[in-house]
Amino acid sequence: MVDRVVAYYEAKEERVAALVSPLEVERILKARTGEGLCVSGAAMSEDAVMQSLEAVLETSVRTQHPLFLNQLYGESSAVSVGGEAALAVLNTNAHTYEVAPALTLVERAVVERVGRLVGWERVDGLTTSGGSMSNLYALHLARHAADPEVAKRGASGRSAPSCAFVSEDAHYSFLKASRVMGLGDDNLVAVSTDRASGAVDVDSLEAAIEKSRAEGRVPFFVGTTAGTTVRGGFDDLGAVSEVCARHGLWHHCDAAWGGPALLSESLRAAMRGVEACDSVALNFHKLLNVALPCALFVTRHPRSFGVNATHAPYLFQDEKPFADLDPGDKSIQCGRKADALKIWLAWRAEGDRGLARTVDACVDLARRAADKVRTHPRLDLVFEPTFANVCFRPSPRQIAALDDPDARARAARRLPPLVKREMHARGCALIGVTTHRYAGDAPFFRLVVAHGNSLEFSDLERTLDLIADISEEPALLAEALSQ
């Protein structure tokens, strides 16, 4: 199985994705193994197990392909895949030093490196399953810092509701986290962003904080974003920190996507002021090409992790050697994968400069793609790029020429998902489609460059031309134009 998986990793395939229905997955499995997806309970032969793996590989998406431009991750570096394999073989838990001595220290070393990059002397942190989990940690620790009794008393035992602030472009995980926390959607306030840059409007933020105080709520948290998920916008971290200092609020920066800018000389300015934040989330499994999952939550308030400590006597005993290095009582999990190994190995292999090259290459490719869109007769740029995200939509002559504005708007709304489906079916590229309140009613393509080491600009050019061409294909246009 390992040989087969390594061969898959090394293969250079033409197609990005198979657009397969659940029925086809079932059919391919049946053809290869005699059984469909159902776990019947009967033991299968070794060969049938191999064929089961083969069917899964055959019907999966090649996120490794340079034209997988759908989300904010893509290729995984060989060294990180090696690290992932080592973690599988070591099969241990990052909860006590006793069962993960070197891996505990490796995590510590990565946390300290990121702390230095951010500009902190004191730092603590954990690898998490991703940005969503890091944002939950931020809210959880911040509320504990503001209201230490909450751990014992519970969230509902206070008459005035706590409230938190993010921008309208913040990641949806804040909404999920506020539900888990018992804050509720009503107590996560979304502040408007600047139309041109996508950054949170700092005056509106301060006004929203004052308004919620006047309403009898208790603000405790502001979550900014460095690299928003759709546009790649950067909030002004320094200006928001000043607001947070005036109002005594925890400032968390969600840098899951844009955080690697810290490594780049030319992009670091976008993160100016990050050292004044109280905590930061950073994903290594996005722009830095580390195998999923590999993400970090760091804070300059180590004691705030105390909210998670329960001192379970069957795991944590003070008299065990090096018990002070146990990370387990900082986590909301018990067992936790030692994901830091992957970025630690990648950092050793590539150094700061190698990682920075990847970041710069992605942003440079995105800028050139945006330039190409700007001058393309049949594509429209939706936002000026501020990072590695390129937002654009096809504008075929046949739709622009329609006299009826309603018909034109309807066709513009239908077209991007149809083009995406066609590209997916052909397997030539996978690119996400989304909407944004500053981009009208029609969806648009959000192309994300996270393949700094394998994507050529000529691939991008070809793909953009192909989108324009597919948008003008008669059958597809007829579907977009139909009543």
Ligand X SMILES: *Cc1c(COP(=O)(O)O)cnc(C)c1O
Name the residues that contact ligand X, by CB under 6 A. Answer: 72, 130-132, 171, 173, 225, 227, 229, 254, 256-257, 283, 295
Chain position carrying tokens 């955080």: 259
Residue whose CB is less far from ligand X, 198 or 427: 198
The Cα 136–Cα 138 span in angstroms is 5
| Smaller CB separation from ligand X, 132 or 358 | 132
List of residues 6+ apart from 227 with CB closer than 8 A: 233, 234, 255, 256, 257, 258, 259, 261, 387
The helix-helix angle for 457-471 and 474-481 (nearest 10°) equals 60
Q: 250 or 387: whose CB is closer to ligand X?
A: 387
By beta carbon distance, the residue nearest ligand X is 130
Find all residues with CB under 8 Å of 445, minimum gap 6, and list them. Answer: 390, 391, 392, 393, 394, 416, 419, 420, 431, 432, 433, 467
DSSP state letters, 111-166: HHHHHHHHT-SS-EEEEESSHHHHHHHHHHHHHHHH-TTHHHH-GGG-SSPEEEEE
Q: Among residues 398 and 434, whose Cβ is nearest to ligand X?
A: 434
Q: At what angle do helices 131-146 and 173-180 cross, to 10 degrees?
A: 50
For the bound state, the minimum distance from the C-beta of residue 341 to ligand X, rounded and expressed in Å, comes to 18
Least CB distance to ligand X at residue 259 (A): 9
* Spatial distance between the Cα atoms of 477 and 380, rounded to a whole number of angstroms: 17
| Alpha carbons 74 and 67: distance in angstroms, whole number | 9
Smallest gap from Cβ 99 to ligand X, in A, equals 26
For residues 77 and 173, which CB has a smaller minimum distance to ligand X in the complex?
Answer: 173
**Residue 228 Cβ, how far from ligand X at the closest point, in Å?**
6
18 vs 479: CA distance, rounded Å:
23
Which residue lies nearer to ligand X by CB, 193 or 471?
193
Which 3 state secondary structure label does DSSP give 270?
A: helix
For ligand X, the closer of residues 171 and 301 by Cβ is 171
Distance CA 70, CA 298 (A): 28
Minimum distance of ligand X from residue 383's CB (angstroms): 16
C-alpha span between 267 and 261 (Å, rounded): 5
User: Of the two residues 127 and 212, which places its CB atom closer to ligand X in the complex?
Assistant: 127
CB of 428 to ligand X, least distance (A): 25
For residues 51 and 178, which CB has a smaller minimum distance to ligand X in the complex? Answer: 178
Give CA–CA dist 73/286, Å, rounded: 4
Q: Tokens representing 387? A: 């990072």
Quote the least distance from Cβ 455 to ligand X, whole Å.
19
Cα 44 to Cα 32: distance, rounded to the nearest angstrom: 12
Compute the least distance from the CB of residue 427 to ligand X, in Å.
Answer: 24
CB of 215 to ligand X, least distance (A): 28
Q: How far is the CB of 447 from ligand X (least distance, A)?
A: 15
CB nearer to ligand X: pick between 254 and 360: 254
Decide whether 256 or 307 has the Cβ nearer to ligand X: 256
| Helix, strand, coil % in the chain, rounded to nearest 5 | 50, 15, 40
CB of 155 to ligand X, least distance (A): 23
CA dihedral (126, 172, 119, 362) positive or negative: positive
- Cβ proximity to ligand X, 187 vs 229, nearer residue: 229
C-alpha separations of 286 from 108, 149, 254, 308, 358 in Å: 21, 37, 13, 27, 11
Q: How far apart are CA 389 and CA 297, in angstroms?
A: 23
Alpha-carbon distance of 458 to 464, in angstroms, equals 10
**CA 354/CA 365 separation, integer angstroms:** 17
CB of 90 to ligand X, least distance (A): 23
